[in-house]
Chain A
Amino acid sequence: DTEVTQTPKHLVMGMTNKKSLKCEQHMGHRAMYWYKQKAKKPPELMFVYSYEKLSINESVPSRFSPECPNSSLLNLHLHALQPEDSALYLCASSQDVGASGTYEQYFGPGTRLTVT
């Protein structure tokens, strides 16, 4: 099973709302990722969790707050977003991080976020 699930599939929120995106994997992977993808662009890395600890934050604004409650779950808490934050948010997981192996990343289907 190489499935990564994400909920919700679509989300519309106002600029004053607080919402959360959820991601789950049951492959025993120890690295999980959040990406943001705008139309016609490749995914842009936001955060990396390794063994449930935040290892990379690509200078993401604090209105995005990641959380890794356990090795299978990854959340992205959203607060006071801007319309330009509208995008496809992708979660991915891999066995581990680092160059000493292939560590293929498996992506979820994404959450299409619209900020109004």
Chain B
Amino acid sequence: TQLLEQSPQFLSIQEGENLTVYCNSSSVFSSLQWYRQEPGEGPVLLVTVVTGGEVKKLKRLTFQFGDARKDSSLHITAAQPGDTGLYLCAGINSGNTPLVFGKGTRLSVIA
């Protein structure tokens, strides 16, 4: 059973468009992290959300943590080719458990 479901799996859009990526679970997470990974490189941490309902902005990226801490979304405004990559959400579930990863959303922004 996949604890974290990401959607969509693949997304191809034109430069300048907006998009939203979702990360959903039936479990409560004490925190959720979003990473971006480019081919052949390690994931780069974008943001961590901890409080239910929290919204964080990173330039054109807006991250939201659901009120019940079971889901999160990433919204990109005016996407650019440099946003292309694999976006991974990952969460700490409970107890002394390690990070749980979603399967990722592969984004392609076409110039």
Chain A residues proximal to chain B, CB less than 8 Å: 2, 4, 6, 33, 40-43, 45, 48, 56, 88, 90, 92, 97-110, 112
Given contacts A42-B101, A42-B104, contact A98 B43 (CB under 8 A): no
Interface of B is mostly: loop
**B contacts with A, residue count (CB < 8 A):** 27
Question: Mind listing 5 A-B residue pairs with CB under 8 Å?
Answer: A2-B45, A56-B98, A104-B33, A107-B44, A110-B41
Tell me, in angstroms, the Cα distance from A48 to B97 when the chains sit together: 10
Where chain A touches its partner, the secondary structure class is loop
Counting CB contacts under 8 A, is B92 at the interface? yes
3 smallest A-B Cβ distances: which pairs?
A107-B42, A42-B101, A99-B30
Shortest beta-carbon distance from A22 to chain B in Å: 14
Asked if residues B98 and A45 are in contact (CB atoms below 8 Å), the reply is: yes
Whether A109 pairs with B41 at a CB distance below 8 angstroms is: yes
Q: Find out whether the CB atom of B96 lies under 8 angstroms from the CB atom of A98.
A: yes
Let me know if B97 and A42 touch, CB within 8 A. Answer: no
**Contact present for A108 and B42 (CB under 8 Å):** yes
